[in-house]
Structure 1
Amino acid sequence: MLLLGIDIGTSSIKVSVVEAATQTVVASAQYPDEETPIIAVKPGWAEQSPDMWWENVQHAINLCHHSGKYQPADISAIGIAYQMHGLVLVDKQQRVLRNSIIWCDSRAVEIGDKAFETIGEEKCLSHLLNSPGNFTASKLAWVKKNEPKIYEQTDKIMLPGDFIAMCLTGEITTSVSALSEGVFYDFSGNRLSEDVTNYFGFSLSLFPEIRPVFSNHGGLLPEIAKALRLKAGIPVAYKAGDQPNNALSLNVLNPGEVAATAGTSGVIYGVSDQLAYDKQSRVNTFAHVNYTEEQKRLGVLLCINGTGSLNRWVKSLFGTSVSYQQMNDEAAGAPVGSDGLRILPFGNGAERMLNNKLVGVHLQNIDLNLHTRAHLFRAVQEGIAFSFRYGLDIMRSNGMNPSVIRAGKANLFLSGLFAETFVNITGVPVELYKNDGSVGAALGAGIGSQIFKSPAEAFSNMHPLQLIEPKSQQLETAYQEWKVLLEKQLAEL
């Protein structure tokens, strides 16, 4: 029995077909080959076209089929993972009304900050577990204020995964997990937040039907099934944001378990059974994929916007003359601490862990007679690892103290230098797994369609590839210097 997982990333769409009995990947594909651009009409803005996502999803699925390694008609369920916090608006005919305002867009920060103050900081934190910040609710309020004609035409609001599920099934649904990541959910009342909807003046009719994450979110439409060579009626049985899904794919489901990822953005995501929150909302708490009213499972999320995106930007400076592997190799040849070169990696929108401030990327202490591009490549990876340490210290101050962190051996964790730097500067061992968001989505579909009797069965064949343990505190002085530079920048904003 086969499962199809779709991962709607910022850079591309990845799909995988997984054999349920063994949890092994039969085939995978990614589309497009080049990284999908982010549309930035103004500084701090970030948009993408939902229709482009749908086109790319279809291309990726058909590319996967072209492998010839399976029969598409044998696929029994579909799961979807997606970039979190994006806003998609459709009319009554399910037509997209504007580009999606995606996760790293900062235009609604002031709107969210005003809502935080007006609704009341304590009430927001105790009921929403977050400040509205620049999350989906504030983005919708921005549209309501600045694009009233589009807002008036809006029949339903969605997150990116809800939109792709709609394209596949014609049905529009959501979940408590999705509503919480948009900061629409009242955890104290176990319902849509009246404080948020009343303050912003949102009609309840805008919100889709709420279903569990692991459930039937609609059957595949006949015309779509024909175009994609799949069986009509197979369910979309799972939808989750990329970070909860990454945690699922690493079997991080229980209190105290922690996952990390370092793709376009960097995230540490820990599971808690407490309705807790950071008083400054620098880290955020959302309903995890297995959250229920009876068994609270919360995902405590630290996000750094500019990790892999900074690495990509630096690579682009050197054109096609350098690959990521070359960058990693050259970085490993530079001395620990990069001979004093320091990078603040915060150039991809307002950073939540820095109180939604736009810090930008800063390159400090350049010595034109000493520093080479190898120093630059290493300083980038060290700066990203330092930002993880800074954020993890915030999580520790809120009671999240991981003894081990699970991560997929992908993106920046493909770099042995980065993985070792991360472990040494955080002081926490890392288990690396063969992990992928699209594979996690496929396994989620197996859970949601009850092909697996339990989540434990879905991960019965999962084993770590590698354990990396802390070996050195050599970088601590460099980190403290980096922290002084960061706090100086924050004080000037």
Structure 2
Amino acid sequence: MSYVIGVDLGTSAVKTLLMDRSGVIAAEATRSYPLFHDRPSWSEQRPEDWVTATLEAMKEVASAAGIDAAAIEGISFSGQMHGLVLLNDKGEVVRPAILWNDTRTTEQCREIEKVLGDKLLSVTRNPALEGFTLPKILWVRQHEKELFDQAAIFLLPKDYVRYRLTGQLHMDYSDAAGTLMLDVAGKVWSKEVLEAFQLADSFCPPLVESHGLVGTLLPEIAAATGLSAGTKVFAGGADNACGAIGAGILSEGLTLSSIGTSGVILSYENDKEKDFGGKVHFFNHGKENAFYAMGVTLAAGYSLSWFKKTFAPNESYDEMLAGVEQVKPGSNGLLFTPYLVGERTPHADPNIRASFIGVDGTHERIHFARAVMEGITFSLNESVDMFRQAGKTVDKVVSIGGGAQNPAWLQMQADIFNATVVSLENEQGPGLGAAMLAAYGCGWFESLEACADQFVKHADSYEPNPQAVETYASLFRVYQQVYAQTKTMNDQLTAFRG
């Protein structure tokens, strides 16, 4: 039996999956590491913690009962996007990594917009947001010049871990797309962007495909993990790109709905010239010469967990949602907007806040619960709506995360998206996508699609109900008015918030 390892380097923990040729998980292991918020809006981690945790997790799966470590052929990675790791000319870390959820860089984002103008969207295909990498680079140069002057090259989180395993410096296109320095359509580092901010070409690592072979394990790493020094290491991809691969989003018409704490709508795209005007993200896919468009809801599953904590703290989710399927679409005229922590798509607004609209004396808690579920799904549908307006086909949606755990919510997604919605038999997310890249890189399959046929299994399928589709289409247009109608009030209310 042959195996591959998928390493998913998340924000709070690293997870490793050991998978065999049939797509069965033979072993898995997780290790956590600390997150540091030393100042308001700061979010940092120690890259060494990632390495230590990854080696421990790899060792655990390689030594699992019944596993021959010598039969592990390849390793690939999924990683948290955007995080800045600076290395000196000796390959040593210059300062702690600044993460994707660090928001200290608003000033630098405005600078990027001013300097690049229209080139920002035409080249990088994405707006300047605090989470991206270039603003972090500019912040370090402005505020920590002595440290910046030591930096010879930058990496993203998973790329640093892979560097420590192989001694080789690379970055894949899907993760590079989140730096604001990549010509996304051209698949090269943008000379226009680098020259505009006086960054040398050598500051950026060599680019490679996500399934590209980038080396084998260093002898000391092989010894520490129990793996063979000849184990092949493949580049891997950004967490969202790998999540798409792990859900089989590998052809036009397929879209991913992921409802975790935040929510993501991600749709496959093969047209590199597709223009969404920066209203949704546009990144390189982990599949070669493919792309994806992506919208984000900041408080998706978080909205439901907030509702439970506040109004049903002693009940399970199943108890709280019992009977929700009996409430008709529209929650008896009650509407919720999930702006608890601001919003990302299509309104990049940190000040907007959530609303219940249309409350009357007939409403019970179950109406509010369903309205929260509908509001989260309406927010995700903002992205679906923009995809379709740009000419994309969205006819099949793979739903994962919390939204895939409740049949009523799956049907609700089918009705609001007006598309077939399917759940997965075994949801493993980005870690599965990383394992699939390793399997494809090792030559087990002729394509990622062939690998998905073996590794990704659909479960239940939900078709849109025409009557509910009509109801939700009307209600969605009302939902879209709430942001503009409440923006000024929420801006004024910021002065009263703790």
- TM-score range (shorter-chain normalised) is 0.7 to 0.9
1:362 aligns with 2:354: yes
Correspondence 1:109-188 to 2 at 5 A: 109-121=106-118, 123-134=119-130, 135-187=132-184
Shift of 1:387: 0.6
Q: Secondary structure at the match of 1:16?
A: strand
1:485 aligns with 2:485: no
Q: Secondary structure at the match of 1:27?
A: strand
Shift in alpha-carbon separation, 1:398–1:95, aligned structure 2, 3 A:
same
- Per-residue displacement from partner, 1:455-492 (whole Å, max 9, x unpaired)? 23312324421111112234445544433222223456
Q: 1:84 aligns with which of 64, 81, 84?
A: 81
Q: Secondary structure at the match of 1:52?
A: helix
Correspondence 1:57-96 to 2 at 5 A: 57-65=54-62, 67-96=64-93
- Per-residue displacement from partner, 1:114-157 (whole Å, max 9, x unpaired)? 42343221x33332222333321222222222222332222321
Correspondence 1:51-450 to 2 at 5 A: 51-65=48-62, 67-121=64-118, 123-134=119-130, 135-187=132-184, 190-278=187-275, 280-291=277-288, 296-314=289-307, 321-329=314-322, 336-338=329-331, 342-347=335-340, 351-354=344-347, 356-365=348-357, 374=366, 377-408=369-400, 410-433=401-424, 434-436=426-428, 437-450=430-443
1:41 maps to 39
Shift in alpha-carbon separation, 1:188–1:270, aligned structure 2, 3 A:
closer
Shift of 1:260: 2.7
Contact 2:88/2:152 (<8 A) preserved = yes
Shift in alpha-carbon separation, 1:336–1:69, aligned structure 2, 3 A:
farther
Shift in alpha-carbon separation, 1:224–1:464, aligned structure 2, 3 A:
same
Shift in alpha-carbon separation, 1:266–1:40, aligned structure 2, 3 A:
farther
- Per-residue displacement from partner, 1:352-408 (whole Å, max 9, x unpaired)? 531x32145424359697766655544432221111011211222222231112234
Shift of 1:326: 4.4
- Per-residue displacement from partner, 1:293-349 (whole Å, max 9, x unpaired)? xxx422222222332344455555589844455455475576654555544334556
Shift in alpha-carbon separation, 1:322–1:7, aligned structure 2, 3 A:
farther
Task: Give the greater-gyration-radius structure (CA).
Answer: 2
Counterpart AA for 1:185? L
Shift in alpha-carbon separation, 1:140–1:402, aligned structure 2, 3 A:
same
User: Using the alignment, how far apart are the partners of 1:310 and 1:129 within structure 2?
Assistant: 29
Counterpart AA for 1:458? C
1:15 maps to 16
> In terms of mean alpha carbon deviation, does 394-403 or 147-156 score higher?
147-156
Shift of 1:172: 2.0
Shift in alpha-carbon separation, 1:131–1:6, aligned structure 2, 3 A:
same
Shift of 1:266: 1.8
Shift in alpha-carbon separation, 1:24–1:317, aligned structure 2, 3 A:
same
Counterpart AA for 2:419? V
Shift of 1:54: 3.2
Shift of 1:441: 0.9
Q: 1:464 aligns with which of 444, 458, 464?
A: 458
Contact 1:447/1:454 (<8 A) preserved = yes
Q: Any gaps of 5 or more consecutive residues in structure 1?
A: none
Counterpart AA for 1:389? N
Q: Any gaps of 5 or more consecutive residues in structure 2?
A: 492-498
User: Using the alignment, how far apart are the partners of 2:145 and 2:3 within structure 1?
Assistant: 45
User: Using the alignment, how far apart are the partners of 2:177 and 2:232 within structure 1?
Assistant: 24
Counterpart AA for 1:6? V
User: Using the alignment, how far apart are the partners of 1:203 and 1:435 within structure 2?
Assistant: 42
Counterpart AA for 1:266? G
User: Using the alignment, how far apart are the partners of 1:68 and 1:149 within structure 2?
Assistant: 50
TM-score by length of 2: 0.85
Shift of 1:267: 1.7
Contact 1:432/1:464 (<8 A) preserved = yes
Contact 1:13/1:30 (<8 A) preserved = yes
Contact 2:255/2:265 (<8 A) preserved = yes
TM-score by length of 1: 0.86
Equivalent residue pairs, number: 482
2:25 maps to 25
Shift of 1:169: 2.1
Shift of 1:281: 0.6
User: Using the alignment, how far apart are the partners of 1:361 and 1:233 within structure 2?
Assistant: 53
Contact 1:125/1:279 (<8 A) preserved = no
Q: Secondary structure at the match of 1:89?
A: strand
> In terms of mean alpha carbon deviation, does 108-117 or 149-158 score higher?
108-117
User: Using the alignment, how far apart are the partners of 1:130 and 1:215 within structure 2?
Assistant: 25
Q: Secondary structure at the match of 1:465?
A: strand
Shift in alpha-carbon separation, 1:175–1:348, aligned structure 2, 3 A:
farther
Q: Secondary structure at the match of 1:261?
A: strand
Counterpart AA for 1:27? A
Contact 1:10/1:83 (<8 A) preserved = yes
Q: Secondary structure at the match of 1:459?
A: helix
Shift in alpha-carbon separation, 1:310–1:47, aligned structure 2, 3 A:
farther
